């Protein structure tokens, strides 16, 4: 894969998380879930692996990002997005929306955004 395309997708994932915030405020869980499951955030792991496997960033930056196996901010993103998916799966349809813990969803969105911001900062350097 192309590291420039992967980096652009990661930036798109961050923009999608802003949309997730808006959807969470309106409690549109099905739409939010769709965006998380099928949007750019769903491709974070393959995208970050493309970048880590390229010479687009320094060895130190690769170490700082890390992977799910070797802890770093990349792992944080995957863990937070996983938590967000789990919370959303509690209310898989709008009929089950009462099962969604809105506060937890917003917490995972915020933490996913913060972790992604760190990754994007490293990618810019």
pLDDT tens digits along 7-56: 999 999 999 999 999 999 999 988 999 999 999 999 999 999 999 999 99
The answer to whether the pTM exceeds 0.85 is yes
* Sequence-ordered list of residues with C-beta below 8 angstroms from that of 42, at least 6 positions apart, any chain: 36
Burial of 63 (0-12, 13-18, 19+ CB in 10 A): exposed
Token pair for 119: 């990754």
């Amino acid at each position: 894969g192309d590291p420039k395309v992967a980096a652009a997708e990661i930036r798109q994932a961050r923009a999608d998380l802003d949309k997730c915030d808006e959807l969470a405020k309106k409690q549109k869980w099905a739409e939010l879930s769709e965006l998380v499951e099928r949007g750019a955030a769903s491709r974070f792991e393959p995208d970050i692996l493309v970048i880590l496997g390229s010479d687009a960033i320094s060895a130190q930056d690769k170490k700082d990002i890390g992977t799910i196996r070797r802890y770093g901010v990349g792992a944080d993103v995957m863990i937070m997005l996983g938590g967000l998916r789990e919370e959303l799966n509690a209310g898989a349809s709008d009929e089950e929306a009462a099962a969604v813990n809105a506060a937890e969803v917003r917490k995972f969105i915020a933490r996913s955004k913060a972790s992604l911001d760190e990754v994007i900062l490293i990618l810019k350097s």
